[in-house]
Each structure stands twice: as C-alpha cells, then as structure tokens.
Structure 1
Amino acid sequence: MQEPRRCRELGIVVGAMPTGPLNAVTDVPGVRVGHTTLVEGDGIRSGVTAIVPDQLTDRRSLPAGLFVGNGHGKMVGATQVAELGEIETPVVLTATLSTFRAADALLTYMLAQPGRETVESLNPVVAETNDGYLSDIRARPVRAEHVLAALSAASGGVPAEGAVGAGTGTAALGFKAGIGTSSRRAATSRGTVTVGVLVQANFSGVLQVAGVPIRPEQVGVPTLARPGRPEHPGNSCVIVVATDGRLDARQLGRVARRAIFAMARVGSDFAGGSGDYALAFSTADTQTPTAPESDLEPVFAAVLEAVEEALLNSLFMARTTVGVAGRVKYAVPHDRMLDLLRAHRVELRA
C-alpha cells in the first residue's frame, strides 16, 4: 500500500508564490486545527474537523466573507455571516446529517468559554459534505463529545490530511479524497500577508493535475460508473480561508469567490447536486486601517494557488477506503499518475 504524500513530496509544485513554513492553514498565526476521526465496524467512515482562531478568545467576532458557488448544502450560520460579515465561533466541518448535532455541540463549547457567562445569542458556523457513499450517514454517528474533542485537540503544526476528521468518508474527482491544506505568502504594499486554506473535498469532475486529466481508468483504478452517470455525483466542497491581512467583510467576500473559482483548476464540474461553499476570515487587528483594494490582487493569486494545492493534497494524502456495503474509493496511484504526467512532459521537481 502506498504511503500518502503531499504535492511537493511528489514533485508537483503549484504556482510560483512562496508558501508559509508549514504550507498549511496553521501558518496564519493563531489558527489551529483539530480532528476527530470515526472508523467503526464496516459502516462508519465519518468525523469532525475544527478550525479554531485563537483571536476569538479575546474578541467576540472576526471579519468574514462567504461565497456560495452552489447552494445545495446545509451550512449552519450562513445567513448571519452574509448579513453581518463576521464569524463568532470556530468553524466546524462534518457530514451532512451530523451538521445539526455538531452545531449544538459548538454552542456548548462556546457558552463554556470564559467571558461568555451571560451570552444569550451565538451564531455557530458548521458546514458539511455528504459522506454517504462510504459511511452509514443515516446513523448520524457524530456526537457532542466528538465535536468537543476536535475543538479541544486543535493545535498548530501541519494538520493531518486525507481520510481524517470530516474527510474520513469523502471522495472527489473519481478518487478517495478528504482534508487538504496549503498556504501562500503574498507581498502587498503593507508587507507580507499570509493566506492559509483548509478544504473538505467531496465533489465530482475529472481530476486535473498541472493541466493533465487523470481519469481513474487511465491509472488502473476500478470504477462502477454507469454510462452517462458518474459514480459519485456532486456532494460538495467546503473551503475555509484564513488570513492575517487586514481585510474587511466585503473584501473577504471577494477572496472567498476566488476560492470557489480555484476548484476549476483541479477539474470540478460544479454539479448541480453539489454544495460548494467558501468562507474567508481575517485574524488581523480591526483597529488598523483596512487594506487598499490594490493589495487584493496578490491575495487573490495566493488564494487560487493555495486552494488548488490544498485540493490536490486532499487527494494525494488519502488512502484507499472500504466502507458501508463494501463500497470502495481508491486513492490516486502516485506512481501511475506521475508516469502519466511525465508522458505529458510535465516538469516534476525533485
């Protein structure tokens, strides 16, 4: 069985901008990630992923922007984020039918935080993708303790990727996928801005790596697809973008748009049954002046590169997974994929 490897370990370098030291969303100071992975018996392949900005310890909210590429999803808290341009809680990712239990657990977590003893209203932000191909989604296996464990375990360092946390049962572009992350450093008029991305990948299309289509049959991966009907249609992608750049809610909405646009770079077909959501937030001190519009151009470029690489990492770090009813999702075979890229004269970097 092949070992999971990130893009750059495979010699695949996305774009030209520098990454942060970890090449992860946790390169943004104060941002931590935690997972709870649920693998139980033959039928449960699910979990929780929490993105926790430490800045919410001292602040009641952070500026945020939301862009919905296709709204076939269940994102708790979305309307208030769109209306007020802020998040009040960490961001939790899970499976579709576990969204509502996760939201309640996130409220429990927030109400217990120091300084919130008299809070009477909170807007929990929970997003989802449908892991029902590999997991018994109707069992709703995610419980409050799983959410609280992910929040409590959130840490810096490179987050686990692939079939972990909320990505345990997900698949994308014909292969097993899951959680992926990446970062970029953008040069602006006010200095370097860090952009970090974490994705929960679970959508359809044809995988594109460096512009080369990688279909399962080309790399020896079995498929059960019927003519004219993909095996794993739609089922969503959630992209969380964090930055230490001083952007307001409107600007963060523009950043979130670019995150959705980046899905096209890896081959998304933007199926009508997919819920494609991007949420961008800033950890910067709101007492400082907002960045000029001209500073957004390098940030946009950073988001496009980081999302593309995070999505590829979500695939290349995943392992072949057998789930409910014996269904299988195969990991991208690295060696065969690299052979195909070489045949198309793609430059791979040692």
Structure 2
Amino acid sequence: MRIRSLGVTPGSLPTGRLNAITDVPGVLVGQTTLADGDLNTGVTAIVPPGFATGVAAAVAVGNGYGKLVGSTQVDELGVIETPILLTGTLSVFRVADALLTWLLDRDPTATSLNPIVGETNDGYLSDIRARPITPEHVFAALDSASADLPAEGNVGAGTGTGALGFKAGIGTSSRQVSGGVVGVLVQANFSGTLTVLGTPVPPLVQKPAPEGNSCMIVVATDLPVDARQLGRIARRAVFAMGRVGSDFSPGSGDYAIAFSTSRAAPIRDQGLKEAFHATTEATEEALLNSLTTASTVTGFNGNTQYAVPHELIRNTAR
C-alpha cells in the first residue's frame, strides 16, 4: 500500500495524476526484477524524452561513498545524453556496458556516450559478488519502459534494498506546481530511524543495519530550468532524506540526479521556491512509498529484512 492509503499525506502541494515520476510528460520507467533465493536485485531504468540530443541535468552529492557512473561529465557539461539506470553496487559496470550496447545499436554513428548508472548495495539480501545482471536484463528494463505508474517496493533495483530498519525498495511521487510538474523516483537503502510526519517509528526487531547504506534519487521536471538551477533542486532532494529519518551515515552514497525536459529559456531563480518545495515533498513521499509498498524478504545467507507493519503507520497518522 502507498503511504496515502494508510492515512498519511506528506506535504500540502497537489500530486500529479499518478503521483509518480511518470507524471512528467514523456518520462518513462522500466524495470527488471531478479528475486530467486540468494539473488534479490534488478535494474530500474528512467528514460527522459529527447535524451539522445541531451537534456539539462545536474548531480548533487550528499555523501560520495558510491559508484555513480558518468557523474563527472554531467557536472562538466550540465546535460545527460542517456537513460538513467539503477542497480546493485557490483553490477554497475556490467549495466553501464549493456546500456552502451543498447545505445550503440540505436545510433550507428555514435563514437562517444556517457552512460549514467547509479547503485545502492543490496548485498545483505542478495549475493552481490555473483554480479547476476546480464545485458538481457538491462535491455528488458529499457525496452519495457512506459509512462504508467511504476511498480514500487521489491522491484527492479529496489528488490534487495532496505531503509531505516525495514525492507524498502523503489518509491515514487510527484507534485504539481505553477507551470509544470516535479516527479521523483528513489532507490532507498539507508540507515536511520523511520520518521513519519515528524514521529519516529522504530523497528520492532532491533538489529545492526546492513553495511553499504545508500540512496539514489532521480528528480524529473518539465519546468524551464537550467543545469545550475537543477543542481539547486537536486540538493533539496538529498535534504529531504532527513525528513524521513536518515542518519546520513559516513558509509553511505547519497546522490540526486535532476533533469528537465523543457527546452525553453530558464526561469529566474526567484521562481524556484515552489520547485524546491515540490522536490522536498515528492522525495519525502517517494521514500515513504518505497517502505510501505515493500514486503518482507529472506534472502542471501538467510538474512531477513521485515516490511514496516502498516498498523504502525496508521497509528502515526491518528
């Protein structure tokens, strides 16, 4: 169940029709899931419209303990020129290579491409050393990408992740603002104490958090903003992790990638306040959705991560 179905309404701005990143016109999401005993991992693909000709983008680094392939060129040029893929840590490089194959097959003249691939460590529930992601898994995620409501919880790159003491995964949300939409998708895998609208919700089973906690956040908008302004927006997405209880562990790789589908001249900075507000709210809700839509998993080495009991959330909302 999504967080709103449990009586919790994060923020005050209206959501888009699907309350998802795919409310931004043209943005597509596809996923491939591996859930089989010791393997709980996958691929999540976010496909911006017009990526082949470059779309304005920026990366914000909350904590740089991660393997975000392609980020330096985004910093340098302020554009992304490929879909954004998410997966498990040790599969990043295989996913990047497969993404290149997919792109080269579609453009026989290309001689330089900058694949964007992010990750979080799903090694607590999945045999991460097996590096099970194949090109076919990547192609399937890309080729199935659609404008529908993306699946959440234990799917795609979130199949083996956990956050704030509970099983987590993929989550998404959106907000309508003057002149456009801000949509967010997260791969949640970080430590701290789950906090719902300011109220802590500690886990029922107390145990040390798995190693390698991180969070990937993708922010999409159709607002006319440039790469510098998208950097400011992306930082607000990282800030929003604190609203749900992140402890921003030193062993965490926390990144936000923000892109705009608009080709219009950018708005003035004074007009960014609503976009900041929308980004913070949508990120908070996406993170909560990643938890409330997830289910308990027993995976690699018999390790178990438990889903957050929905009654705990309902009690918080009362």
TM-score bracket, normalised by the shorter chain, equals over 0.9
1:166 alignment partner, one of 146, 157, 163: 157
Structure 2 match to 1:256: 234
Structure 1 match to 2:130: 139
Structure 1 match to 2:200: 213
1:124 alignment partner, one of 115, 118, 122: 115
Structure-2 separation of matches of 1:185 and 1:281: 16
1:333 maps to 2:309:
yes
Structure 1 position 271, deviation (Å): 0.2
Output the amino acid matched with 2:303: R
Output the amino acid matched with 1:267: G
2:71 alignment partner, one of 71, 78, 92: 78
2:91 alignment partner, one of 78, 86, 98: 98
Structure-2 separation of matches of 1:62 and 1:111: 19
Per-residue deviation, residues 105-133 of structure 1 (Å, max 9, x unmatched): 111111122xx221100000000000000
Per-residue deviation, residues 165-224 of structure 1 (Å, max 9, x unmatched): 00000000000000000000112xxxx22000000000000000011100112xxxx23x
Structure 1 position 55, deviation (Å): 2.0
Per-residue deviation, residues 299-336 of structure 1 (Å, max 9, x unmatched): 00000000000000000000001101111000000013
Structure 2: unaligned runs, 5 residues or longer: none
Are the equivalent residues in 2 in contact too, given 1:176–1:331 (CA < 8 A)? yes
Structure 1 position 232, deviation (Å): 2.2
SS of the residue 2:99 aligns to:
helix
1:291 maps to 2:291:
no
Are the equivalent residues in 2 in contact too, given 1:242–1:281 (CA < 8 A)? yes
1:54 alignment partner, one of 33, 49, 71: 49
Structure 1 position 54, deviation (Å): 2.5
Structure 2 match to 1:23: 19
Output the amino acid matched with 1:49: T
Structure 1: unaligned runs, 5 residues or longer: none
SS of the residue 1:97 aligns to:
helix
Are the equivalent residues in 1 in contact too, given 2:124–2:211 (CA < 8 A)? no
Structure 1 position 231, deviation (Å): 2.5
Structure 2 match to 1:309: 285
SS of the residue 1:242 aligns to:
strand
1:32 maps to 2:66:
no
SS of the residue 1:82 aligns to:
helix
1:269 alignment partner, one of 234, 247, 271: 247
Structure 2 match to 1:8: 4
Structure 1 match to 2:191: 204
Larger Rg computed on CA atoms: 1
Structure-2 separation of matches of 1:233 and 1:134: 11
Structure-2 separation of matches of 1:266 and 1:15: 13
Structure 2 match to 1:194: 181
Structure 1 position 234, deviation (Å): 4.7
2:147 alignment partner, one of 140, 144, 156: 156
The alignment yields a C-alpha RMSD, in angstroms, of: 1.0
Are the equivalent residues in 1 in contact too, given 2:29–2:44 (CA < 8 A)? yes
Output the amino acid matched with 2:213: N
Structure 1 position 233, deviation (Å): 4.4
* TM-score, scaled relative to structure 1: 0.89
1:107 alignment partner, one of 100, 104, 109: 100
SS of the residue 2:50 aligns to:
helix
1:321 maps to 2:297:
yes
SS of the residue 2:53 aligns to:
coil
Structure-2 separation of matches of 1:21 and 1:126: 28
Structure-1 separation of matches of 2:257 and 2:312: 34
